[in-house]
Amino acid sequence: MENLFNDEVMALDTYIMVKLKEKTAQLADSLAKKNRAPIALSMGAPTANPPAMLIEKLKEFLTEDNIHTYSVTRGELYFRQAVAERMKNRFGVELDVNKEVFSLLGSKDGLANLIRFLINPKSDELEKEIILIPDPGYASYGQMVQCSGGKAFPIPLTAENNYMPDMEQVLGNLEAAGLDSKKVKAVIINYPNNPLGASATKEYVQSVIDFCKRHNYLLIADAAYCDLYFNEDEKPFSVLELKGAKDVAVELFSLSKPYAITGWRLGWMCGNAEVISRFGKAKSTIDNGIFKALQKACAYIMNSPEGEDYIAQGNAAYRRKQAIMVKGLKELGWEIDDAKLPHTTFYLWLPIPKKYDSSFKFCEDLLEKSGIVVVPGDAFGEYGKGFFRISYVCSDEKLQEVIDRMKADGFKY
């Protein structure tokens, strides 16, 4: 069977979250016996219940005529209209529902398919088409590019460049590595960023738009965390608010995190009409869109007072949870500068304790000794070495227990 599969796909490592889940499941019994039942701070998946009104609406729509039949790949008109309304109210962005909005089975579906529709697969390393990806960044980007027969090249996000690197410098790095900047097809940006929680200024993102225009690259903006923010005056913006964005960019949004419905699989892509049209043509050969009752329920919640209240309450809870973790980690010796803490997402990005020289080893020890599951920084790219990521998505009590276990089991910075 081995020879039957695509070499690039078979060369992929198992997805980090799957690996962590498998390892945790293997250890679950022995950890429970020593009073260290696993606490997952690994997945970026909210554990709260979704908005009650969303469930009500879903129940209501389940009995409608014609609701259980195929939808369409680009999404029902009511879903696309709801997206346009939200984009207008939230960001002041006007969208043509027929040309500039497309539904996704989660933003991961959009990213994976867009990437493979862009890349002409090549096996020769120097011939490969290139996508620039944030590093550290969402672990799937690199794997999606690799299994599409392309090459991912890092956009280094470091404290020194304030997580907003000069893109011409990135091209300089690429040429210095013996690669050809003409092979670059697209640039992915992700602000607020997973795993860092870092945000970008409008000036910076405008410079990335201008860069993409200059070089004829597609800009893919991943806005999965745009509704997870702590302060009203620091609300993340849409790339499409900026000058010339629609000429070069598409932006991907996700309903997974703001409404705690990671299992429902809903998102959308919007922006450049030609990209949406080409994407739609290819995508129509693959799926029939999202279950209509889900689209209808989400179309409701996206523009409702209940939806806004839910997001506000969720963000207040994440802010409180961040404070619990930061207080505890400081007691354990982590040097955390409050002024530099992220005000977005539900992630904390921290250096591993001084006595460790491997993020994997630290995360393995923390799991095996204390039943605490966190993600090694290397999983997010080469610039993630020496760090680990915490998702503070579980209850306040569990977060406190994490700190108590680390204290009791001798984990300190």
Ligand X SMILES: Cc1ncc(COP(=O)(O)O)c(C=O)c1O
Q: Which residues bind ligand X (CB under 6 A)?
A: 44, 106-108, 138, 190, 194, 222, 224, 254, 256, 262, 267
Nearest-approach distance from CB 259 to ligand X, in angstroms: 11
CA angle 193, 382, 405 (to 5 degrees): 70
Nearest-approach distance from CB 371 to ligand X, in angstroms: 23
When the beta carbons of 254 and 370 are compared against ligand X, the nearer one is: 254
When the beta carbons of 370 and 391 are compared against ligand X, the nearer one is: 391
Alpha-carbon distance 155 to 166, whole Å?
Answer: 9
When the beta carbons of 164 and 171 are compared against ligand X, the nearer one is: 164
Nearest-approach distance from CB 236 to ligand X, in angstroms: 13
Alpha-carbon distance 149 to 273, whole Å?
Answer: 26
CA angle 117, 194, 211 (to 5 degrees): 55
When the beta carbons of 179 and 250 are compared against ligand X, the nearer one is: 250
394 three-state secondary structure: coil
Among all chains, which residue has been given the structure tokens 């729509």?
Answer: 61
Nearest-approach distance from CB 366 to ligand X, in angstroms: 21
When the beta carbons of 221 and 325 are compared against ligand X, the nearer one is: 221
Nearest to 220 by CA among 270, 255, 174, 254: 270
Nearest-approach distance from CB 247 to ligand X, in angstroms: 23
When the beta carbons of 262 and 370 are compared against ligand X, the nearer one is: 262
Nearest-approach distance from CB 302 to ligand X, in angstroms: 14
Alpha-carbon distance 62 to 125, whole Å?
Answer: 50
> What is the β-pairing status of strands 372-373 and 39-40?
parallel
Q: What DSSP string describes 234-249?
A: GPPPPGGGSTTHHHHE
Helix (H) or strand (E) segment spanning residue 133: strand 130-135
Among all chains, which residue has been given the structure tokens 């539904």?
Answer: 103
Nearest-approach distance from CB 384 to ligand X, in angstroms: 14
Alpha-carbon distance 343 to 361, whole Å?
Answer: 29
When the beta carbons of 254 and 315 are compared against ligand X, the nearer one is: 254
Sort residue 228 into left (φ over 0), alpha (ψ -120 to 50) or beta.
Answer: beta
